[in-house]
Structure 1
Amino acid sequence: MTLPHTPSFSLEGRRALVAGASSGIGLGCAVALARAGASVTLAARRVDKLEEAVAELKAEGCEADALAMDVSDIPATVKSVAETGPYDILLNSAGLARHGPALETTEEDFDAVQSLNFKGAYFLTQAVAKGLIEAGKPGSLINITSQMAQVGGQERAVYCGTKHGVEGFTKAMAIEWGPHQIRVNCIAPTFIVTELTKPTFARPELKAWVEDKIKLGRIGEVEDIMGAVVYLASDASALVTGTSLLVDGGWTAD
């Protein structure tokens, strides 16, 4: 009998770009990728936070560097990726939320959220894919969306719309770039304890709503996402593309 070979979760020899890496889910994903063996470029606007994280990763023996990046500034982002790439792995966690009743949405808030969450994500993914195709390399491109890309939520019409949009272009890009062996996927978390979600948990009625919807009975932690990103970045998910990996504690099981 010849037993099957377990695909490797190792990322040795691969370069990863993590956008939104200064805190929260992005930082957690950068750490996970680095510890799995990737050489990780941590990118965000807050360079001081990036340099602090890079120093700690290097102290662990990981390979990491920092890169100033505002994903909503598309020309600068495209230029930066072209100059520093190609990257074998993209993890985009850059995001913005301005929650409120749909009847009160302003054009300014709408434009700010879609500019980063949707438009910025689109062109960042495109830029990394261009570098891979020009180099003739395969790759794994991952955008952090949300369980709200699968359902709706109170006071989240614009946010939900952007995340639905990212999951839509993910499917289309996966179809187009499959022949180049470039995989494109999303990770869709439930509410995770981060700086971004603090305002939600500060409102007792919203905190109760969240806890009631999560079937496993607890709010997520950054660590809950770290295994998912290593899986999608590695050969362990070699046949996975055009999909969204829900890490939602059963929220969408209804």
Structure 2
Amino acid sequence: MKRALITGGSGGIGAAICQRLAADGLHVIVHANRNLDRAEAIAADIRNNGGSAEAVAFDLTDGTATTAALETLLAAGTIQVLVNNAGIHDDAVLPGMSTTQWHRVIDVSLNGFFNVTQPLSLPMIRSRWGRIINISSIAAITGNRGQVNYSAAKGALHAATKSLALEVASRGITVNAVAPGIIATDMIDGHFDPDSIRKLVPMQRAGRPEEVAELVAFLASDKAAYISGQVISINGAMT
């Protein structure tokens, strides 16, 4: 049974990805930063429906803590599928953005990517099979007012995706990024009302977390073995 780690797995999109990968027969490791109870509930739901899952909590901006947590997980075997889904918003226009806001967003989305991906990549290389899927954002493609920090972090993730894909392509490992648009999760509450969504999105609705999860599941499968180094948007024709 292949094993998958989904960072930020306790969130809306993350939970949908966990459920979908478990349905494909993967053992799912649901990661949370502080909300371990939520991650445990998702893992329990997967197990109650016949799947295989466990929950784990660590701060992926803390390199030492992340390495220790991953060593424990790797003791049970290689993690063949990694979904770097963790990310946060801390919005402000750049002239009013604090240093803390800048670094906090960069730390989670970009440094967190390194802290998790680097230790897991060598075991993948040894097994000569792996899937690394980085969850990005439309903000990295089109930009967004008040999100210079978030756009910068996710844009850098696109570049890292392409470079890492080149490094591991000969080892049977693919690396891709998925860039969602407006998705119906708690993160958009208070930011987009139905009228705004109809104006912004040609399909006139928000996407569903399950729709993002379907794309991730495909990229994690053997069917996507020749797709790598790509940034794939899922945004209802916004771009």
RMSD after superposition: 1.4
Structure 1, unaligned runs of 5 or more = 1-12
Any idea what SS the aligned residue of 2:162 has? helix
Which of these residues, 190, 199, 205, is aligned with residue 212 of structure 1?
Answer: 199
Q: 1:64-213 counterparts in 2 under 5 A?
A: 64-85=53-74, 86-133=78-125, 135-201=126-192, 208-213=195-200
Structure 2, unaligned runs of 5 or more = none
User: Are 2:82 and 2:131, in contact at CA under 8 Å, matched by a contact in 1?
Assistant: yes
CA distance in 1, matches of 2:145, 2:200: 13
* Deviation for aligned residue 1:84: 1.1
Q: Which moved more, 1:78-87 or 1:42-51?
A: 78-87
* Deviation for aligned residue 1:209: 4.5
CA distance in 2, matches of 1:87, 1:132: 7
Amino acid at match of 1:246: S
When normalised by structure 2's length, the TM-score is 0.94
Q: Does 1:226 align with 2:213?
A: yes
Q: Which moved more, 1:163-172 or 1:221-230?
A: 221-230
* Deviation for aligned residue 1:210: 4.2
Aligned length: 235
* Deviation for aligned residue 1:191: 1.3
Which digits, 9 at most, give the CA deviation of each residue in 1:86-138, with x for residues without a partner?
Answer: 201001211110112121111010010000011111231222212212x3331
Amino acid at match of 2:221: S
CA distance in 2, matches of 1:41, 1:137: 21
When normalised by structure 1's length, the TM-score is 0.88
Larger Cα Rg: Structure 1 or Structure 2?
1
User: Are 2:61 and 2:115, in contact at CA under 8 Å, matched by a contact in 1?
Assistant: no
